[in-house]
Amino acid sequence: MQENIKLLIELQGTDSVIFRDKNFIDSMPSKLLSADQAFKEIQSLYEGGKQKVTLLEKKKKDKEKETEDINERIKKIKARASEIKTNKEYQAHLKEIEAIEKERYAIEDEILSIMEAVDAAGKELKAEEIKVKAEKDKVEAFKKQVEKEMAEAEGELSEKKARRSDIADKIDPDMYNEYMKVLKACGGLAVVEARDEICQGCNMNIPPQMFVEIKKNEEINQCPQCRRILYWKEVNE
């Protein structure tokens, strides 16, 4: 195989790794942001649950204070019993107490209902707390894994860039310029295999005579359709 073809194949392989590592590194910030957003959504539900429990507990305390006030009112009304002089006044006195006690019973029913709501909300909050912890652990583990993979990618990227420079220096300048033009035009893939008279870059047919020349690997041949640089891969390679 001609040396320039070997160098172009190696350069393409190196560039492919460089593109892959760059894309990986560039994609990480958005992935980390997505992980943080998922955690914040779960945390927001948890905070909402905490607020719900707090409001219910405050409501319960307010109702309990209302009950205490009613008990105090009943106590004062009963204290006036000694001032009653007629049966009519006594009946009115009993009705007043009865009406206030009904009010207290209604509030006590509300308190029981609130207590049930607090219990249910507390269970939901506990479940959300477990989810928050699990998601937090998941995000932290993901971040550690990303940091590790990014360090590896950056190390490989640095190594491949140095190797790329060495390869590029050995290639004929005109040929290198053509490679770079095709690389940009074809989405990062400038050198591809020709197999069964088909360009593996664009999947279009290659003229039979050109395919014969390509199989010799002696000259630089480009696909008539996509302009990619073609080579023949020996079976024993």
- The Cβ-side half-sphere exposure at 205, using a 13 Å CA radius, reads 3
Structural domain harbouring 83: 7-171
| Dist CA 145 CA 169 (whole Å) | 36
pLDDT of 43-80, one tens digit each?
A: 999 999 999 999 999 999 999 999 999 999 999 989 98
| Dist CA 54 CA 107 (whole Å) | 19
Check whether residue 188 and residue 163 sit in a common domain: no
Answer whether residue 2 is part of any domain.
Answer: no
Q: What pLDDT shows up at residue 236?
A: 54
Confidence of residue 1 (pLDDT cuts 50, 70, 90): low
Check whether residue 55 and residue 73 sit in a common domain: yes
pLDDT of 140-162, one tens digit each?
A: 999 999 999 999 999 999 999 99
Q: What pLDDT shows up at residue 85?
A: 87
Check whether residue 108 and residue 127 sit in a common domain: yes
Check whether residue 129 and residue 28 sit in a common domain: yes
Of 151, 171, 191, which closes a domain? 171
Of 171, 194, 210, which closes a domain? 171
Percent of the chain with pLDDT over 70: 98
Q: What pLDDT shows up at residue 82?
A: 84
Q: Considering its fold, how many domains does the chain have in total? A: 2
CATH number of the domain enclosing 101: 1.10.287.1490
Biggest alpha carbon–alpha carbon distance for the chain: 129
Q: Provide mean pLDDT across the span 177-203.
A: 96
Check whether residue 21 and residue 132 sit in a common domain: yes
Answer whether residue 189 is part of any domain.
Answer: yes
Check whether residue 163 and residue 203 sit in a common domain: no
Determine the distance from the C-alpha atom of residue 46 to the mean position of all C-alpha atoms in its chain, rounded to a whole number.
18
Of 171, 194, 221, which closes a domain? 171
Q: What pLDDT shows up at residue 147?
A: 93
Mean pLDDT score of the chain: 93
Check whether residue 88 and residue 188 sit in a common domain: no
Answer whether residue 192 is part of any domain.
Answer: yes
Check whether residue 156 and residue 198 sit in a common domain: no
Q: What pLDDT shows up at residue 81?
A: 86
| Dist CA 159 CA 36 (whole Å) | 31
Answer whether residue 70 is part of any domain.
Answer: yes
Report whether pLDDT(216) > 70.
yes
Check whether residue 151 and residue 182 sit in a common domain: no
Check whether residue 152 and residue 196 sit in a common domain: no
Check whether residue 107 and residue 210 sit in a common domain: no
Q: Return all residues near 201 (Cβ < 8 A) that are at least 6 apart.
A: 186, 189, 192, 223, 226, 228
Q: What pLDDT shows up at residue 135?
A: 93
Q: What pLDDT shows up at residue 43?
A: 93
Answer whether residue 237 is part of any domain.
Answer: no
